[in-house]
């Protein structure tokens, strides 16, 4: 289509400007390893890292902007909305301690800007291990949730995105909270009473949070079982691995090809996060999603 290239370049410039502004405000750079299944017919052939690209970033930045505009519009019209929030992390002290192990210094009080500066520094210093650091920070930040925002209330905001007003509104065809927000928008634009009363909206917020948590657990289990299935024919093979977790609860390693994490059940004495090892695959349990390695 004539002129489409220039339109995309304009959108990209705007998206990059919005992204830069958000990160200056403290939006967090949290690049974790996500995998996508590659099938050969009906057979799982591989798990490949789902790499980020400029097109995905453009869509993401405009979605964040649209969600903010939607939240502020409803608030300006005096309409309660269903917000997506990520509270100030309760486990900030653990994030501070984690940063200290890598030579970083974070303030005693939660500060998204300081955390973002640390993350950017570590990403530049050690790109290979950065996804594992990012995953640890994600876990310590806690889960997002849905909450009702009434006009005039101080918003909880989204700590990870460094935005004050944020809802989910751009995917009503695949996510129920977005459909709720679209219905609120339609009733407001039409000058009708709000599509949902306060009590109903509160119940929906709880329901959506519970359902999302349940879906996340299922997705996690499917990914673990898929990884175990992919490796089930490779018992006895050796892999280069990176230690991603080491505590009283167990020691975990990640191999790069395929991008899979499993438990180091033998030879874990003296190893720590960040160590490079050679490991042998000794056991998988597809149903439970277990993958066990031994140090070679």
Given a contact cutoff of 8 angstroms between Cβ atoms, the answer to whether 205 and 82 are in contact is yes
Dihedral sign from CA coordinates of 218, 223, 226, 228:
negative
pTM, rounded to two decimals: 0.82
Given a contact cutoff of 8 angstroms between Cβ atoms, the answer to whether 82 and 204 are in contact is yes
Is 133's pLDDT higher than 90? no
Amino acid 157: pLDDT = 94
Confidence of residue 103 (pLDDT cuts 50, 70, 90): very high
Confidence of residue 163 (pLDDT cuts 50, 70, 90): very high
Q: Where are the domains of the chain?
A: 4-86+143-218, 232-295
- Going by C-alpha positions, the residue among 258, 244, 276 that lies closest to residue 133 is 244
The helix, strand and coil proportions of the chain, stated in percent and rounded to the nearest 5, come to 45, 20, 35
Given a contact cutoff of 8 angstroms between Cβ atoms, the answer to whether 227 and 47 are in contact is yes
78: left (phi over 0), alpha (psi -120 to 50) or beta: left
Is 228's pLDDT higher than 90? yes
Is 41's pLDDT higher than 90? no
Q: Which two tokens stand for residue 38?
A: 């590659």
Helices (H), 77-197: 92-101, 112-125, 130-141, 176-189
Amino acid 293: pLDDT = 97
Distance between CA atoms of residues 253 and 2, nearest Å? 50
Which tens digits make up the pLDDT trace of 169-212?
999 999 999 999 999 999 999 999 999 999 999 999 999 999 99
48 vs 184 pLDDT, higher one? 184
Is 30's pLDDT higher than 90? no
Distance between CA atoms of residues 14 and 9, nearest Å? 9
The dihedrals phi and psi of 110, each to the nearest 5 degrees, come to: -55, 130
Distance between CA atoms of residues 146 and 200, nearest Å? 13
Is 44's pLDDT higher than 90? no
Determine which of 2-6, 8-12, 111-115 has the lowest per-residue pLDDT on average.
Answer: 2-6
Is 34's pLDDT higher than 90? no
Is 259's pLDDT higher than 90? no
Confidence of residue 232 (pLDDT cuts 50, 70, 90): very high
Determine which of 24-38, 64-78, 87-101, 120-134 has the lowest per-residue pLDDT on average.
Answer: 24-38
In CATH, 232-295 is 2.102.10.10: no
């Amino acid at each position: 289509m004539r002129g489409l290239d220039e339109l995309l370049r304009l959108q990209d410039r705007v998206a990059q400007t919005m992204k830069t502004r958000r990160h200056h405000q403290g939006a967090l750079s949290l690049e974790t390893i996500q995998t996508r299944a590659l099938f050969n017919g009906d057979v799982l052939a591989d798990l490949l890292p789902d790499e980020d690209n400029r097109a995905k970033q453009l869509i993401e930045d405009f979605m964040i902007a649209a969600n903010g505009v939607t939240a502020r519009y409803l608030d300006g019209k005096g309409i309660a909305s269903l917000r997506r929030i990520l509270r100030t992390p309760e486990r900030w002290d653990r994030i501070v301690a984690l940063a200290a192990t890598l030579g970083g210094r974070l303030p005693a009080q939660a500060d998204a800007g300081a955390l973002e500066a640390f993350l950017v520094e570590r990403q530049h210093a050690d790109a290979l291990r950065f996804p594992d650091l990012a995953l640890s920070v994600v876990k310590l930040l806690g889960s997002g949730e849905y909450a009702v925002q009434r006009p005039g209330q101080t918003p909880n905001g989204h700590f990870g995105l460094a935005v004050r007003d944020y809802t989910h509104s751009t995917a009503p065809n695949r996510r129920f909270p977005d459909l709720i927000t679209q219905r609120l928008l339609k009733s407001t634009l039409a000058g009708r009473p709000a599509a949902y009363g306060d009590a109903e909206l509160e119940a929906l917020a709880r329901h959506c949070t519970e359902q999302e948590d349940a879906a996340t657990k299922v997705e996690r289990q499917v990914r673990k079982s898929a990884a175990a299935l992919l490796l089930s024919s490779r018992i006895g093979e050796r892999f280069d691995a990176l230690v991603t977790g080491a505590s009283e609860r167990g020691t975990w390693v990640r191999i790069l090809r395929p991008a899979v994490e499993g438990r180091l059940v033998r030879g874990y004495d003296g190893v720590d996060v960040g160590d490079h090892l050679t490991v042998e695959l000794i056991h998988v349990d597809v149903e439970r999603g277990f993958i066990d390695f031994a140090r070679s």
